[in-house]
Amino acid sequence: MNLEQLAEKELRKDEEEQRILSGESSASALTPLAGGPPLDLNHPFYDVARHGIVQVAGDDNYGRKLVIFSCCRMPPSHQLNHRKLLEYLKYTLDKYVESDYILVYFHFGLRSSNKPSLSWLQNAYKEFDRKYKKNLKALYVVHPTNFIRVLWNIFKPLIRYDEKLRASQKGGPPRPTRTPPPRPPLPQQQFGVSLQYLQDKGNGDLIPLVMRETVLFLKQKALKTEGLFRRSANIQVIKEIQKQYNLGKPIKFEEYGDENIPAVILKTFLRELPQPLLTSQIYDQVQSIGTVESSLRVTRCKQIIQSLPEHNYIIVKYLICFLHMVSQESIFNKMNPSNLACVFGVNLIWPTKGPATLHALPPINMFTELLIEYYSQVFSARILPNEVLP
């Protein structure tokens, strides 16, 4: 049995298992999901793009584009030009490959009726040269099956060849990376340093410069911008602005002509704090918010927030006050407290070791949503003399 036959055999096994698990009929198994047409009817890739097989799903927490390939949206092979599908995938990636990006492959839905040939897959792999691989930070395969293992055996020689070729081009085998010794921050450093450092270097200002300037701009110019904080911005521009801030140079967001840039800068600032703004000390209390009776959760949030150190409390109140303003314009910007919580929760608090797990996200989001929606109640009891509000 050759590899093509072996792959076909495993794929049919996978199909049968999927039918048993989902209780679907043979007819429904072959029906692709309808994707909204992302291109104009006259676009040369419209006939491929209309299926929604390849989609760009926004950014991850590090500002990297997420490109999604969904097998369940692939129509039967006789209805799709696979060569054109490859060209459309490259056409989509070409817009993002100069920056870091993530590729997510959803395997569920690949069947005998819609799968491309193995020779097509091999040719496709060969066409994805260094241009596409150099900034690919991760490839996630969702719902892997035995068919994927067969493909791995087919592609293993090509992958190994790629590794050897890259090693030879670099003058030898890759060396283990070493963590460079920590460097002292620049005198005007704004990103990646503690709140205390920022206060000491900022003439005692309690609200960090980056937060103050981004909030001020967004409050004046972007409260009604649809998708505020959900849309991405050019990663190179973001890095350049961070560099300018760290060198102590003034930033004028008006000159960039993109309201999403200061929104991303604000999220990046919070994410790069050495310690979370809400502090690690209250992490376990935040995680238990879902166990509190719903009628008592706002009161519990208030108790937790009151326990923050004074400096953190002032900054948190400043930020949540602004996010509450954003939520009040949700009829225009589509960012209600729940949507804002999904964006900001993971940037306000995280565990002491590693990123938050999927299991940990719901209570973090719930806690953040309560802070935003019930801002007045949560922050009413503790009034500090040095408070600053947006």
User: What pLDDT, in 10s, does the model give residues 165-209?
Assistant: 555 555 544 444 444 455 678 889 999 999 999 998 877 789 999
Q: What is the pLDDT of residue 178?
A: 45
Of 39-53, 77-91, 301-315, which gets the smallest average pLDDT? 39-53
Of the chain, the end-to-end C-alpha distance in Å amounts to 70
pLDDT digits (tens, 9 = 90+) for 207-252: 999 999 999 999 999 999 998 998 888 888 999 999 999 999 999 9
Q: What is the pLDDT of residue 48?
A: 86
Going from the N-terminus, what domains does the chain have, and what CATH number goes with each? 3-169 (3.40.525.10), 195-378 (1.10.555.10)
Q: What is the pLDDT of residue 120?
A: 74
Query: Is-contact 300 292, C-beta < 8 A?
Result: yes
- For the chain, percent of residues with pLDDT exceeding 70: 75
Is the confidence at residue 287, as pLDDT, over 90? yes
